[in-house]
Amino acid sequence: MPELPEVEVTRRLIAPLLIGRRIRAVHTTRPSYFFLTPPAQLRRALVGRTVGALERHGKYLLASLDDASRLLLHLGMTGQLFSSVVSSPRLLSSTARASLTPEAQRGFVPDAHTHLRLELDGGGPDVVFRDVRKFGKVLLLAPGSSDPRLDKLGPDALAVTAEQLARAARRRAGPVKSFLLDQAVLAGVGNIYADEALFLAGVRPLRGANRVRPGEWARLADSVRKVLERSIETGGSSISDYIRPDGADGGYQDERRVYGREGEPCSACGARIVRVVIATRSSCYCPRCQR
């Protein structure tokens, strides 16, 4: 679920809970697909560490620790990173929520999907990482080491230029939609914001990337930045699982022009929004506004 705006909003709200804090205790679930670093090793390595900075690279978060190691986090499709003092209806199924006491409903209660919980010195709330589908990832990077997942990322989508996009697209005959989703080309755009940026730029998602003209790359680069910045301002898109770290919903889902709006009238021209499948990802566009 989370794309660049959701990860950036998460970073801004989680940073004050983590930075300068010493990790007092670490709670995890059993080993799984989710843990690139085995949970037992993770617990040993993290306890006693103090967090320096919390940075974002595309959709990845990177926490630097006082022993020069770094903790790499990815939210996958259903990952949620939040403060333990929140209570949000998105965090529990209705049946699970109904079984809690009123006191428990006011704070977060760890469940089987709560894969990582950091207790911090200083009396603040815990930092919780919950992920139902476990497509999210946790990886501890030893001092001085990196990871291919980070190294292969293209320029951050908030800073990408038309020239960078046009150059990267030269040998790319596939759909421009797939091109925008390629994290090695630009880092941070996912299915929602690719569709939204293509709409704003007036470009059809199925057009070959190498058949997009220079003027259109300029509009696309602007549209990508505009859409992402506006989403960050509104707190991101809360469509199914995403919540802000403080438990509130984002607001960008109400500003979508095409994503998830198949069959609805285009907000610009009234034509019916169309849905096609491109490389297994559903893609919505306006057949009149986008060429």
Partner DNA sequence: CGTTACACCTGAGGGC
Partner DNA sequence: TGCCCTCAGGTGTAAC
- 233, with CB counted inside 10 A (0-12, 13-18, 19+), is middle
For DNA, give the closer residue by CB, 19 or 132: 132
Q: 134 to 153, contacts with DNA by CB under 7 A?
A: 134-135, 149, 152
Q: For the chain, first and last CA: distance in Å?
A: 27
For DNA, give the closer residue by CB, 126 or 241: 241
Answer for which of 54, 140, 192, 200 binds DNA (CB under 7 A) is 192
Contact between 93 and 41 (Cβ < 8 Å): no
Answer for which of 77, 100, 248, 276 binds DNA (CB under 7 A) is 77
Answer for which of 64, 115, 158, 190 binds DNA (CB under 7 A) is 190
| Distance between CA atoms of residues 190 and 76, nearest Å | 11
Q: 164 to 183, contacts with DNA by CB under 7 A?
A: 171-175, 178-179, 181, 183
| Distance between CA atoms of residues 118 and 198, nearest Å | 39
Active site residues: 2-3, 59, 281
For DNA, give the closer residue by CB, 34 or 120: 34
DSSP string of 36-99, one letter each residue: SS-HHHHHHHHTT-BEEEEEEETTEEEEEETTS-EEEEE-TTTEEEEETT---GGGS-HHHHHT
How crowded is residue 203: how many other Cβ atoms within 10 Å of its Cβ? 24
Answer for which of 140, 209, 220, 274 binds DNA (CB under 7 A) is 209
Does position 202 bind DNA by CB under 7 A? Answer: no
Nearest one of 276, 259, 247 to 1, comparing CA atoms: 259
From 38-46, 81-89, 197-205, 277-285, give the range in contact with DNA by CB under 7 A. 277-285
CB of residue 242 vs DNA: minimum separation in angstroms? Answer: 3
Answer for which of 238, 266, 274, 290 binds DNA (CB under 7 A) is 238
| Distance between CA atoms of residues 156 and 108, nearest Å | 33
Residues that bind DNA (CB under 7 A): 1-3, 6, 33, 58-59, 74, 76-77, 93, 113, 132-135, 149, 152, 171-175, 178-179, 181, 183, 190-192, 209, 236-242, 250, 260, 279-282
